[in-house]
Each structure stands twice: as C-alpha cells, then as structure tokens.
Structure 1
Amino acid sequence: MSGILDTVNQRTQLVGQNRLELLTFRLMTKQRYGINVFKVKEVLQCPPLTTVPKLHPLVKGMAHIRGLTFSVIDMSLATGGPPIPDPENRFMIISEFNRTTQGFLVGAVERIVNMHWEKILPPPDGSGKENFLTAVTDIDDELVEILDVEKILNRISPVNEEISEDILSQKTEVTDEETENTEIILIADDSSVARRQVRRTVESLGFEVMQAEDGGDALRQLKGIADNEHIINRLALVISDIEMPEMDGYTLTTEIRKDTRLKDLHVVLHSSLSGVFNEAMVQRVGADSFIPKFDPDELSAAILQVVKARREKNDK
C-alpha cells in the first residue's frame, strides 16, 4: 500500500498513447471501482473530519490538508450504497475535477493498473440512465466500474450552466438572425452530464449539435461525413473530452490530424483534467486549444471566436 501512496503524485504526470492508469478501490462491497490516476492528487488515510451545518447528505465532512480545505464525499452513499462507517480508519482519495478539489471517502484502496483505453468499454446495455458509470473494464477476470464523478458532483453542487448576458450580446457579432446558421459542432464526451452541459451551451448560441459518447464513435461519425462531402463545409469544430472509453481525446485528435479529409478541423479539448494538462500536450497531439470544464462563458467565447474566424475566412 505504501508504494501506491508514495507514487500517485508522480504518476499523474504520465501521458501515454491512448493509455491510462487506473487506481482501483472498493467501497462497502466486493465490487471494484477505478479512477484515472491523472485526476488523483493524493491518497491518504482519512483525517478527522469537521462537520458544519447544512452539509449535503452525501458529504461526510470537511478536511483540512496542507492549507487546503475541501469537502469529503462518501462515495458509497453517493452511488446508492450504505454509508461508510468509521471514516478515520478508511482512505480518502484527494482528486481534482472541474477546477475544484474534493476528497472521496472509500472503503479500501488497492493498486494502480496500466491499461489501454481500448479495454475501457461503455456501460452495458440495460444499465439504465440512473447509474453512475461512464465505463467498465476487466482486471484479473473481475469487472471494474469507472464512476461518472461529474454526475456525482453535479448532484452535490450543480454547475452554473447559464451564459452571461455579456457573452450572449457578442453572439450578434457572429450570427445573423436573418440568415440560417448552418454551423454544426460535434461534442464527444462519455459523461451524460457533460454532454448535456456542452449541448445546452452550443444550442444557446444558435448552432446545431452532433454528439458522440467516446472518441471512437466521434471518429466514425467524422469519417462518415467525409465519405460523402467536404467536412469543413459541414462542421465548424469538434469539442472533445480527454477521458473516454475505446479512444481518448488525445488519440482522437491525432487520428483527425492524420486523415487528410479531417486534418483542417478545429479541435478543442474540453476536460476536467485541468490540474495536469499542459500546453506541450496540446501541441503534441495537434489540438487547437484546451478549455478546462466547465465554464459556459469561457466555452461560449471560444466557440464564437472560432465561428467568427471561420465566417470571415469564407467571406473573403
């Protein structure tokens, strides 16, 4: 166990070719779960927690670690299980999602497994819309569930999804209400919550949306369009998550740049991996920009800028 705790921070700096490292853990049952090490800042025994009035029922308490105070979420309760008893004898995974830091109280932490994204599969049919899974995989002939942490966090502290009036006022500089807006934007994200947030933003700006649940699905859709028409005439840009089953956003971007029919598409990587992302990786895979999740104004401004440049180029 000490090896896991000592090396998590170092491993978060690793970026592979369509690979990831999963930190596996258990809650209050034999079921195994996994979280991408890129999102893990630290793993430690849960410290004494402070309770404050009117905490959300899924929040066990507040932790104060090295000058940082954050909420600690009971991951068993959050996924519909029994509460985790005796927190101070359990483990806490400190993680960064969507620009915020939080602790996840878990029953036990196991080990780190290096895997290929192709072995990470979407949840099976019939799992229902109310589940908290973004993916599943097999480790040592045992099913491992990868949780939709964004969905859990949105239950506790819903993200503001409204675009400000200031940004909406800029929309008139880009769009013309007297003409039809034909721009289509492809959204690729395995989280249903994230897809809905981005879709609402795009549609609020007056543009059409195509959706994909992972990088492989997105690439198939793009190639399908390119088989029948010049894709730049149809698609304004691609907004892609980084962590996705089958094919991650890094690899999707690389594949887009390798295909002569797709290579000129504008690609925005939009991910909660903000804590470990760097400009060198954007340049390495050929993405045009990176935007950390989720700020509707920041995303809207980026979309409007791309569409405006696209229209100015077409008008020349």
Structure 2
Amino acid sequence: MVKLKEGQGMAGVMDSVNQRTQLVGQNRLELLLFRLDSKQLYGINVFKVKEVLQCPKLTIMPKSSPVVRGVANIRGGTIPILDLSMATGRSGLSDLSSAFVIITEYNTKVQGFLVRSVERIVNMNWEEIHPPPKGTGRDHYLTAVTHLDQQLVEIIDVEKILAEVAPISEVISAGVIDVETQGKAVTKHVLIVDDSSVARKQVTRCLQSVGVEVTALNDGRQALEFLRKLADEGKRPEDEFIMLISDIEMPEMDGYTLTAEIRADSRMQKLHILLHTSLSGVFNQAMVKKVGADDFLAKFRPDDLASRVVERIKVSDEG
C-alpha cells in the first residue's frame, strides 16, 4: 500500500511546479520518500520527479546495462527504467508486478527509477540535509543523508548512477577554446561547488581542459565559509576567482541561498556566479534573477561550460 499525504492519491503525488517554486530560494526542498527491498528509507528531490506510477510493462533492451531493466512506453515516449537497487550494488528487485517507477528528469534526460514502494512527500530544510558520514567508502552511492522520525533517510547520488549507466562525453569540441585564451587561462582560477563527487570531477576535468586552475568544494556552507575567510584576510573574491560555478541542490546550504548570502556581503558581492544544475524547468531562470546570480547553465554540456569560462577569461583579461 502506498502511503502519501492525507487525501493525496497516486495521481496527485505531483503538484504543479508553480506551487513548489515558493520553497526554492528559502533553502527548502521537498523529498519524495521511497524504499528499495529493505527497511531503509531513501529520498529524491520532488523537483526532479515528473510522475510516480505502478511499474508498467517493460521491453528488454539487448546490449544495455544490466541496471536498465527495460524500456517502457509512457505518454507516447520510450523511457529507460533503471533498477535503483541494482545500480547501488545490491541485487535487483524481483517481483516487478508490485513495484513502482519514479519518472525523473536529470540533465534534461528523462528516465524511470524502479523502486519497491513509494511512501510520502516531506517538506524539509537543506540545513537538515547533511553530507554522508565519513568512512562510507570511496564508492558509496550517497550524496546526502537526513533524519526523519528517528529514521535515517539516504539520498542517492543519481548523477553517479547515470554516469555509470550512460557515461557523458567530457570532451570539448575543437574551436571552443582558441590558443590565445588557453595561454591566458593558466593565470586564472575558478571556484566550483557541487555535492556530487562525479559532477565535481566532470566539471574539474572540463575546466582543466580549458587550462584554468580549479578549487573544488562540496557544499554551499563550505563555500560561503571559504569566501568569508578570504574576505576576512582582506582579499577580494572577485580578484581571486574569475567565477564561481555552483550546483543548486546541496546539503547544508543550496546554491540559491549561497548566491543570496554572497550578494548580501559587500566584500564579495562582485563575484561572478554561474548556477550549474541538473534541475530542469523555466522556474530556474526566474530564481537566478531573484537571488542575483549572473548566469544559469543546465548540466552537463562541456562545450557550453567551457564557453562560459572562456568568456570570463576574456572579460577578466580586459578588466
């Protein structure tokens, strides 16, 4: 039996994005809670979820990753269905007839995640979401954890899973960086913030191909403390870094709140901020404007990201 908010049927699991955008910018999020084959609770940001439904008929895809249990025809589109249990190193779900699929959108791609059961939606603050405990191993699949009713809720690093099932090319196309800009890049420094280890590595490798130096941090609070320390030492962040590239969804403090905090501090408000996220939807453009970021880019497009960095190298060189 699927447990949801009172008076909320399966068809009503998802409210319209418009009703949820009020949470964004307040360091808040809503998590859809689900289970795989154990008692462990997992959570996924509702903004990533398009729909929840009983597992439909799956068509097996030859030569695909074992994690992809098949494809399903949903609302006229063919969507790959990934077994989240198998993707995180456990055995796959056995009885699919009683399983559910969470249809999600990450990095502008739509896929379904096969889960045992869907519980309910909870409204939380990013300050209650913490990085995974140290010592969970280098290959762990968690990007964050939180507690709810004295139960641990694990938030899976979906970007890591997707990168393993369908690796994204990190190669920058010829012509994106000219020789002159690459020569100037070596004296430039970029600060990046992302809670996903896979995303941090993707962005770092892309920027290193451009030629800039990279400092990578894990969440918004860590980044804010780092920038405040620089300012306390009398340094101007905009002189130290040509730009900050920040994820939006992060434990402790999200990218919107980080941007608003930077803009509220006269010592660092001139730092160029690019929000870089796997969240899709037009609401992001409005939020970027509202919190005072300079730019917004959907993950992960190496050419687009490299182009933004190249622009900043040229602007900073003129300055």
TM-score range, shorter chain: over 0.9
Pick from 280, 290, 298: which aligns with 1:284?
Answer: 290
Deviation of 1:248 (Å): 0.2
Q: Distance in 1 between matches of 2:282 and 2:51?
A: 13
Could you tell me which runs of 5 or more consecutive residues in structure 2 were left unpaired when the two chains were aligned: none
Per the alignment, do residues 311 and 165 of structure 1 end up closer, same or farther by CA in structure 2, a change over 3 Å counting?
A: same
Per the alignment, do residues 259 and 49 of structure 1 end up closer, same or farther by CA in structure 2, a change over 3 Å counting?
A: same
Tell me, yes or no, if the aligned pair for 2:238 and 2:272 is still in contact at 8 Å.
no
Instruction: Work out whether 1:252 is the aligned partner of 2:262.
Output: no
Per the alignment, do residues 264 and 7 of structure 1 end up closer, same or farther by CA in structure 2, a change over 3 Å counting?
A: farther
SS of corresponding position for 2:176? helix
Instruction: Work out whether 1:50 is the aligned partner of 2:56.
Output: no
Q: Distance in 1 between matches of 2:121 and 2:144?
A: 17
Per the alignment, do residues 166 and 88 of structure 1 end up closer, same or farther by CA in structure 2, a change over 3 Å counting?
A: farther
Pick from 95, 101, 108: which aligns with 1:99?
Answer: 108
Q: Distance in 2 between matches of 1:4 and 1:174?
A: 55
Matched to 1:176, the amino acid is: G
Q: Distance in 1 between matches of 2:70 and 2:168?
A: 21
Deviation of 1:276 (Å): 5.5
Q: Distance in 1 between matches of 2:49 and 2:168?
A: 21
User: 2:155 maps to what in 1?
Assistant: 146
Quick check: 101-110 or 63-72, which moved more?
63-72
Matched to 2:120, the amino acid is: R
Matched to 1:184, the amino acid is: H
Could you tell me which runs of 5 or more consecutive residues in structure 1 were left unpaired when the two chains were aligned: none
Deviation of 1:175 (Å): 4.1
Q: TM-score, normalised by structure 1?
A: 0.94
| Correspondences of 1:1-316 after superposition (within 5 Å) | 1=2, 3=8, 5-10=10-15, 12-13=17-18, 14-15=20-21, 16=23, 17-168=26-177, 170=178, 172-176=179-183, 181-228=186-233, 229-275=235-281, 277-312=283-318, 314=319
SS of corresponding position for 1:34? strand
Tell me, yes or no, if the aligned pair for 1:237 and 1:265 is still in contact at 8 Å.
yes
Q: Distance in 2 between matches of 1:206 and 1:217?
A: 25
Q: Distance in 2 between matches of 1:26 and 1:72?
A: 16
Q: Distance in 2 between matches of 1:214 and 1:297?
A: 24
Tell me, yes or no, if the aligned pair for 2:32 and 2:122 is still in contact at 8 Å.
yes
Deviation of 1:102 (Å): 0.2
CA deviations on 1:105-132 (whole Å, 9 max, x unpaired) are: 0000000000000000000011111110
Tell me, yes or no, if the aligned pair for 1:184 and 1:207 is still in contact at 8 Å.
yes
SS of corresponding position for 1:226? helix
Tell me, yes or no, if the aligned pair for 1:189 and 1:241 is still in contact at 8 Å.
yes
CA deviations on 1:174-206 (whole Å, 9 max, x unpaired) are: 3436xx832211110000000000001111111
Deviation of 1:4 (Å): 5.5
Two-structure CA RMSD over aligned residues (Å): 1.4
Matched to 1:298, the amino acid is: D
Per the alignment, do residues 213 and 11 of structure 1 end up closer, same or farther by CA in structure 2, a change over 3 Å counting?
A: farther
Q: Distance in 1 between matches of 2:300 and 2:9?
A: 30
Q: Distance in 1 between matches of 2:205 and 2:43?
A: 29
Per the alignment, do residues 4 and 158 of structure 1 end up closer, same or farther by CA in structure 2, a change over 3 Å counting?
A: farther
Q: TM-score, normalised by structure 2?
A: 0.93
Q: Distance in 2 between matches of 1:114 and 1:11?
A: 15
Deviation of 1:71 (Å): 0.6
Deviation of 1:166 (Å): 1.7
Aligned residue pairs total: 309
